[in-house]
Chain A
Amino acid sequence: MKEIRFRLAIILAAIVFSVYLLYPTYVDYQKTKNLNKILDSQKQALLYGNPNITPDQLDKRIKLIEDSIKASDPSYVKARSERIKLGLDLQGGMRVVLEVNTTKLLNKVVKNPDDVFKKVIAESDKEAQVSEESVVDIFARKLAQRGIRMSRYFGSVRDDDSKIISDLKKDADDAVSRAMEIIRNRVDQYGVSEPSIQRQGTRRIIVELPGVAREEEAKQLLQGTALLEFRLLKDPEFTFSVMQKIDNVLSGKSLVDSTKTDSTAAADTNKTKTQLAKTDTSAEQKQKDIEKNHPFFAIAHLLDSQGRSADAAVRGDEREKLTRLLNRPDVQSVIPNNVEFIYSAKPFRNTNDNKDYYTLYLVNKEPELTGGVITNARANIDPQTTSAVVDMEMNSDGAAEWSRITGANIHKRIAIILDGVAFSAPVVQGKIPSGRSQISGMANMEEAKLLEIILKAGALPAPVDIIEERTIGPSLGQDSVNNGLTSMVIGYILVGLFMIFYYRRSGEIAALTLTLIVLFVLGVLAGFGATLTLPGMAGIVLTMGMAVDANVLIYERIREELGTGKTIRASVEGGFTKAMPAILDSNITTFFTGIILYQFGTGPVQGFALTLMIGIITSLFGALVISRVIFDWMVAKGAKISIG
């Protein structure tokens, strides 16, 4: 009995844990249902008010309403992020496979392309379309056949072929990292939820953008060259006065008494600063006052209360709100024409409230320099300070410009901006005549590595081609969810009913086990953050059909044992023991095929393999542990066991 209790405890714990893991999914389901109801009624209202509206316009209006509802209630987003992840085939979205075009890269880095080069590179490109060999290797082989050394086109004269080849391959490899960083940067700014950007092999990038319906826009995100700029940061006094004016406009104050508000605002922002540090009830009241009197500073918290820098921190979830405020015409009118606010590319984490904050900078609109002049960048460790630094080199034109810029702006800050967001804003320490500059202040080597990639992005755009693209519309995804759920429910009912009909009381145990198996499969999916796809749902339905197999094997064995005249206790014991090897052997081989399927498949198919494998493990647990406990308990109690 004691042993039964222990096993029962394990089962109960597994049930409770699965329910706990699935609860957010339930909440999300309810919330989505509510939201859809609201949107439906809004749609009717819109159609009623304006019968001539085109479907396109209607969709846009509804999307706007949806966005505003979601923005006003963060619990929507929270529930969505914690539910079972749905694959692209279920929630709609786009999957793109990009491949770095090595031929284009070679064309870019070649020293002195002549006709021979053009001919050989064209031949190599053609061959690479059908071969597994890399373009670099094919190109090198073709040159060798003609008796030409690689150094004629790449590297320096002293380098031998193998070094140049490995350098070129490294270039191609770098191009992939660069493309990934550029894409990640753009996708982050675009605001796709749960994007996935992965590297596959050496030359490919897989980008998955759930919920992106306008595939043209997404494609623009993925292709095209990146813009790297160096722009001067405005000094703190200037920035602060602009912020002050914005604050006044937003709070509705006139611009005349700005001298008066100046001091109070500074005092208030100090309070805002403390606000970041601790929250108590009196501070809450003050916070409300600040929000009313200083709407700008309530969102953009100045980071330095002494006024040495005017960098402001904006909480991640308030960023969009601030952008909207800044775009208001009355606010725009107080911002000088030649400057603009930009955000940092990556957020930093505030240790006090554990939230992500972006830094807000005020910079010149006109760049001092664009990235085309950079010839090289490398992350290094400074031997003196042992901190991470990035060294960059420029071409002669760039170096001359750079010398002038740095000379004129000593102790000022220059922001390094890629596609409109700042990656770093170092202080100019002195005039740099040669173009060789060192950027310090990175927290670690990883950050330095990122800056290296960003700096190179302006110099060497990564030529990428789309080689595979799949887009699923949201309506097809919703249909698939409905079909999958219907199949699961009907499959469950039919299999359960059949088991009860055929095995009576024992069948009820099998049906109960089946319920728990499905619960566990879903729980495991939610717990591991695995993705559920339509084939995955099919996998669950199939699992239900096959999960009862273990029970069937055991029951048939128990029947046989009973047939030989054994007692119930001995028959149950014998049935479980004898069925065991068959159950294990058959499930292990099926599990193997699951693993291979997972390795081979992409997206939806992987989802299927996953549910199949989880289904095998949980159904083994179901038959060998759960059913067993129930039987043992019934036998111990002396209950009559009917097995049909």
Chain B
Amino acid sequence: MRIFENLNIDFLGKRKFFYILSSTLFLIGVVNFIFRGFTFGIDFKGGSEYVLEFQKPMSVGQLRPNIENIGLGNVELKSYGSSNAIIIRTELQTVPSTLFPGIVKKINSQIENIYPGVPYQIVDSTAKSVTYSFANPDTTNTMVDKLFRDGFQTSKTTADLTNTKMSVSIGISDIIKTNLKEKLKDNTFKILKEEQVGPKVGGELKRNAVIAIFLSLVMILIYLGFRFKFIFAAGAVVALFHDVLITMGLYAALYNLIPGLNLEIDLTTVAAFLTLIGYSNNDTVIVFDRVREMMKVHKTMPIEEVVNLAINKTLSRTLITSGTSLLTTLVLLIFGGEVIRAFAFTMFFGVIIGTYSSIFVASAIVVEYANKTKKKLSF
């Protein structure tokens, strides 16, 4: 079967129109970035995130009143996939000090429950834990075991046999778990996923991500500069910038607009960006390769015509490969599940923008440059 045969479309003649299109897309992105900004996932922002799956149906609206007043401040809730799962997220790393007295009271009453009237003392209290001291090692061991079973994160301070101290570590997850268990007695839940990223790690990951993207662009620039004329490499890299920036703009524009699609910038998004760069560049190289070949054959032909011819000759391949790639990203989007939905979406859009940019951005830049300098490009 042949759909595209002997095409002779004057792509570059219409390039002014596509410049406007690209600029518009870019501007939409910028405007959205200014007014809506990017939303970073906890990989980059730092914070804590929990995915709870409830036994019975549970909506964000139902859960919100149960979680808002437990004192964790600004807690973000979101549905996770189509099931009964909900993401709970907070930027906090440690429990706010205002909550401490309540928790300590709870632990105290639990201790009273286990051994009524047992003498104990609170000897130390930090942002993350409270340390209790009991009269003898045996009581301590029993307390550590029993409180652990009640859901508190207890441990002996030292593994020494004579140890009489017990430390109870208090994390955000503990607060959420114990509070929800009390409030939602008839709807039990289990934790599907739990992530905590410290602010320092988040900053490092962010910096690494930026470095990775720039490094790949520079490597492409060097490799293509070596294999083609420099202006081709420059054209390709500008096209890649174009793709990444417009896709980022899309992230800002569509965040929270499509239900079930969580467009936050996290590690997987960066992976998608890098793959998009790889894919888009792949496409550009194929067109350039044909331009190089044509220039050797049609030595006198104006550059604009040569490029047009190369695009037309490769168009069939371009559309078929984009087609199969789109097909697979679509499959991932539909069947890949919640965890990689954003990734699949980015790649789906990336395949389209990458194909577009290799024709209307990368090639057009080469032509513009040749026209402007009036130089004859040759290999």
Name A residues whose Cβ lies closer than 8 Å to a Cβ of B: 55, 89, 97, 129-130, 215-216, 219-220, 223-227, 367, 370, 419, 466-473, 475-476, 479-480, 483-484, 486-487, 490-491, 494-495, 498-499, 501-504, 534-535, 538, 541-542, 544-546, 548-549, 552-553, 556, 559-560, 578, 581-582, 585-590, 592-594, 596-597, 599-602, 604-605, 608-609, 612, 644
Contacts and interface: CB of A to CB of B under 8 A. Distances in A.
Contacts of A588: 223
Contacts of B190: 473, 475
A55 B189 CA distance: 10
B324 A542 contact: no
Interface in B285-329: 285-286, 289-290, 293, 313-314, 316-317, 320-321, 323-329
Contacts of B283: 586
Given A469-B196, A589-B220, A597 B212 contact: yes
A549 B321 contact: yes
A417 to B, nearest CB: 11
A548 B198 contact: no
B278 interface: yes
A590 B224 CA distance: 12
A479 B337 CA distance: 8
Given A542-B325, A589-B223, A590-B278, A468 B337 contact: no
Contacts of A605: 267-268, 270-271
Given A473-B192, A544-B328, A560 B271 contact: no
Contact of A469 (B195, B268, B290): B195
Contact of B191 (A227, A471, A544, A549): A471
B201 interface: yes
Nearest to B194: A471
A468 B201 contact: yes
A596 B216 contact: yes
B281 interface: yes
Contacts, number: 227
Contacts of A479: 337
Interface in B1-58: 1-2, 51, 53, 55
B271 A590 contact: no
Contacts of A97: 201
B332 A538 contact: yes
Given A556-B317, A597-B212, A538 B160 contact: no
Indicate the member of A89, A220, A541, A559 with the most B CB atoms within 10 Å.
Answer: A541
Given A226-B159, A559-B2, 19 more contacts: A89-B339, A130-B200, A215-B194, A216-B148, A223-B155, A225-B158, A471-B193, A472-B192, A491-B327, A495-B327, A542-B325, A545-B321, A549-B317, A556-B314, A586-B281, A597-B275, A600-B211, A602-B267, A605-B268
A483 B285 contact: no
A596 B219 contact: yes
A618 to B, nearest CB: 16
B278 A593 contact: yes
Contacts of A367: 161
B156 A541 contact: no
22 contacts: A55-B188, A129-B200, A225-B158, A468-B197, A475-B190, A475-B192, A487-B332, A491-B327, A491-B331, A499-B324, A544-B328, A545-B327, A546-B321, A546-B325, A559-B2, A582-B286, A590-B282, A596-B274, A597-B274, A604-B267, A609-B271, A612-B278
A594 B158 contact: no
Contact of A597 (B155, B271, B285): B271
B73 interface: no
Nearest to B6: A563
B343 A227 contact: no
Interface string B207-229: 01101100110011001100100
B335 interface: yes
Contacts of B59: none
Interface string B124-159: 000000000000000000000000100001011111
A562 to B, nearest CB: 11
Contacts of B198: 467-468
Indicate the member of A97, A538, A559 with the most B CB atoms within 10 Å.
Answer: A538
A585 B228 CA distance: 10
Contacts of B321: 545-546, 548-549, 552
A530 B4 CA distance: 42
B244 to A, nearest CB: 12
B156 to A, nearest CB: 7
Given A502-B320, A588-B223, A592-B216, A480 B331 contact: no
Contacts of B219: 589, 592-593, 596
Contacts of B366: none
Nearest to B220: A589
B215 A601 contact: no
Given A224-B155, A484-B336, A592-B220, A586 B286 contact: yes
A557 B337 CA distance: 38
A594 B285 CA distance: 17
A542 B285 contact: no
B223 A596 contact: no
